[in-house]
Amino acid sequence: MNTERLPLEIDRLRFSYGGVPLLEQIDLRVEPREFLALIGPNGSGKSTLFKLILGLRQPDGGTIRLFGRPPREARRWVGYVPQYPLFNRDFPITVTQAVMLGRLGLTRRWFGFNRADRLATARALDEVGISGLANRPIGNLSGGQLQRLLVARALVTEPRLLLLDEPTANIDQQGEQGLFDLLGLLNQRMAIVVISHDIGFISQQVNRVACLNRTLICHPATELKSSDIEQMYGRPMHLIHHEHAHHTPGEGMR
């Protein structure tokens, strides 16, 4: 695959749910190594847009291209971090085993995981700073540690585009700082799109902000104004700029 193509191209996308228009005339380009924040009120279609990008739902109209290809042909190059874990935290599985599940679409299904799968898993755990938790049951993880596990699981496929749905929803401020420091490092080699309902979330790492409420408007992060937010949310709002101090990858996990 030619990974020099744009990670994400959306043209005139339309989608309805139960006959009610949810997304209309969505146009978006994400450049290589861009960091885009997707914000909007609850029910504005942010998670639905991710499902369309991943090929889990089909649009009513318009096109989506990942590296120049339809979503189902390019999933290999996309890492996805869901808003909530899709596995039961009480299930008796270790951190390593949970992360390695991200390799299921790549490995030889009937022969188990191979050496390449184990090496990719070890690299991902090390990169997100939780290699020391490799043998810990997932039920014993803090919220920040679990979020890093989910990022590691997305990284084992060696993606060129990383999608994260509300990654800071269940972690404290210190964990949020550590997570965005990590994403800033990953952004050096891949494009990142992160969903947030928190309009105060404007990290130093973010290049652009995409405001979604049925339609989509993009702004450079430094030029987003309160009036833009008020128009999207339909009521007066205030923007808060967050400063993120530098942390090493292993810090801010709890």
Domain count, the chain: 1
The answer to whether the beta carbons of residues 159 and 193 sit under 8 Å apart is no
- Assess if residue 209 is contained within a domain: yes
Q: 113-116 long-range contacts, Cβ below 8 Å, gap at least 24?
A: none
Give a yes or no: residue 2 inside a domain: no
Range list of H helices, 110-245: 115-128, 143-155, 173-186, 226-233
Q: Tokens representing 111?
A: 């022969």
What DSSP character marks residue 186?
H
Is 244 a member of any domain?
A: no
Asked, for residue 254, whether it belongs to a domain, the answer is no
Establish if 20 belongs to a structural domain: yes
CB 146 within 8 A of CB 152: no
pLDDT of residue 160: 96
Structural contact between residues 203 and 242, judged by C-beta atoms closer than 8 angstroms: yes
Specify if 1 maps to a domain. Answer: no
pLDDT at 123: 97
> What pLDDT, on a 0 to 100 scale, did the predictor assign at position 2?
45
Specify the pLDDT at position 174: 82
DSSP character for 109? Answer: G
Give domain status of residue 251, yes or no: no
Q: Which tokens in the block code for residue 92?
A: 């008796």
Two structure tokens written together for 182: 């990590």
Return the pLDDT at 199: 56
pLDDT, tens digit, 9 for 90 and up, residues 141-182 = 988 899 999 999 999 999 999 999 999 887 888 888 888 899
In a domain, 238, yes or no: no
pTM across the whole model: 0.84
Token pair of 60, please?
């009513």
pLDDT of residue 163: 98
pLDDT of residue 225: 57
Residue recorded with tokens 């269940």: 170
Which parts of the chain have pLDDT scores under 50? 1-3, 235-254
CATH code where residue 71 lies: 3.40.50.300
Q: Range of 184's domain? A: 8-233
Residue 1 pLDDT: 43
